[in-house]
Amino acid sequence: MKRDKLILVGLIVLLLCTACIAPVSAHRAFVGAFMTGDIHDDVMIRAWYEGNTPMADARVTIYAIEDGIEEIYIEDLTDGQGFYAFEPKWRVTEYEIVVEHTGHRARMTLDLESGESMTSPGNEIPLAARIIAGFGYLLGLAGFAMIYTARKMQKNN
């Protein structure tokens, strides 16, 4: 009986601790790039999460690709709106852009000559699989609760 009360108190404390945690949402990261079109003709990078939330202060690594060899060209941070602009290296038309923030990573290849950009598919779980996994998690918790109450009822009889 005392053990059951201790477990119940522990579960309540755990529930209260999780209620105090700031809400977060699992989301994917994206990166896009475009030419500014001004006299400097910089490349503007925009990094954002699902829901169009900017990746503020994210780490940007830009690799210049010359003759198939990647070398780090720039390492810096995005601004508060998830933007970063850089001047292209002389005679380099292909870049690999990686933006990282709090464990999220977005990657793209930009070819200035052809105007094409390719976003690398992430190893993220598709939305449908995430929804099914969430329901599985909830069903697991419900199962544990049912086992607990069944054992408690069995002890009372």
Report yes or no: 49 and 55 within 8 Å, Cβ to Cβ: yes
Tell me, what DSSP letter sits at residue 142? H
Residue 149 CA to residue 2 CA, distance in Å, equals: 15
Q: Give SS3 for 52.
A: coil
Which residues, 6+ apart, have CB-to-CB distance to 1 below 8 Å? none
**Dihedral over alpha carbons 126, 130, 131, 134 (to 10 degrees):** 180
Residue-wise pLDDT for 14-31, tens only, equals 666 666 655 555 568 889
pTM: 0.59
**Dihedral over alpha carbons 35, 41, 47, 51 (to 10 degrees):** -50
pLDDT in tens, the chain (157 residues): 677 777 777 777 766 666 665 555 556 888 988 887 766 678 899 999 988 899 999 999 999 998 888 999 999 999 999 999 998 888 888 899 999 998 889 999 988 877 666 765 555 667 777 788 888 888 888 888 889 888 988 888 7
Q: Give SS3 for 150.
A: helix
Q: Which residue carries 């929804």 as its tokens?
A: 131
